[in-house]
Structure 1
Amino acid sequence: MASGSSDDDAFRWEGDDSPTRPPRAEKSDAVLPEGWRAVGKGSEAPADSAPSPSVGDEPASDTTSLGSAALVTLGLLGGIYLLYTVGWVLGGARTALAISPYLAPGAVVPAQWFAVAAPALWFGGTLLLTRSSAVWVRLAWLVVGVFLLLPWPFVTGV
Structure 2
Amino acid sequence: MSTPRDDDALSWDGDDDPTLDPGKAENAPRPDAAPRRPAQRDAAAPARPLPTGFTAVGKGSERVAPPSPAPEPLGNAALVGIGMIAAAFILFSVGWLIVSVRLQAVADALPVAAPILVTLTLAAAAAPLVWFGTVYALTRRSRTWVRFAWLVVGVVLLVPWPFLGTGSFA
Partner of 1:35: 53
Q: % of aligned pairs identical?
A: 40
Deviations 1:46-79 (A, max 9, x none): xxxxxxxxxxx8697x333111111110011001
2:132 corresponds, among 102, 106, 123, to 123
Q: Distance in 2 between matches of 1:65 and 1:97?
A: 47
Higher relative contact order (CA 8 A, sep 6+): 1
Q: Structure 1 segments of 4 or more deviating over 6 A?
A: 57-60
1:154 and 2:147 are equivalent in the alignment: no
Structure ID, larger Rg: 2
Equivalent AA in structure 1 for residue 91 of structure 2: L
Q: CA deviation at 1:111?
A: 0.3
Equivalent AA in structure 1 for residue 127 of structure 2: A
Q: Distance in 1 between matches of 2:100 and 2:91?
A: 13
Q: Secondary structure at the match of 2:106?
A: helix
Do the aligned partners of residues 100 and 68 (structure 1) sit closer, same or farther apart at CA in structure 2, a change above 3 Å counting? farther
Deviations 1:73-132 (A, max 9, x none): 001100100111111111121123234432211211100000000010000000011111
Q: Is the 8 A contact 1:82 1:120 kept in 2?
A: yes
1:88 corresponds, among 93, 96, 113, to 96
Deviations 1:8-53 (A, max 9, x none): xxxxxxxxxxxxxxxxxxxxxxxxxx839xxxxxxxxxxxxxxxxx
2:75 corresponds, among 58, 67, 74, to 67
Q: State the TM-score, normalized to the length of structure 1.
A: 0.59
Q: Which runs of 5+ in 2 are unaligned?
A: 1-51, 55-65
Q: Distance in 2 between matches of 1:149 and 1:131?
A: 22
Q: Distance in 1 between matches of 2:127 and 2:68?
A: 37
More displaced 10-residue stretch of structure 1: 146-155 or 87-96 = 87-96
Q: Secondary structure at the match of 1:63?
A: coil
Partner of 1:142: 151
Aligned length: 104
Partner of 1:77: 85
Structural RMSD (CA): 2.3
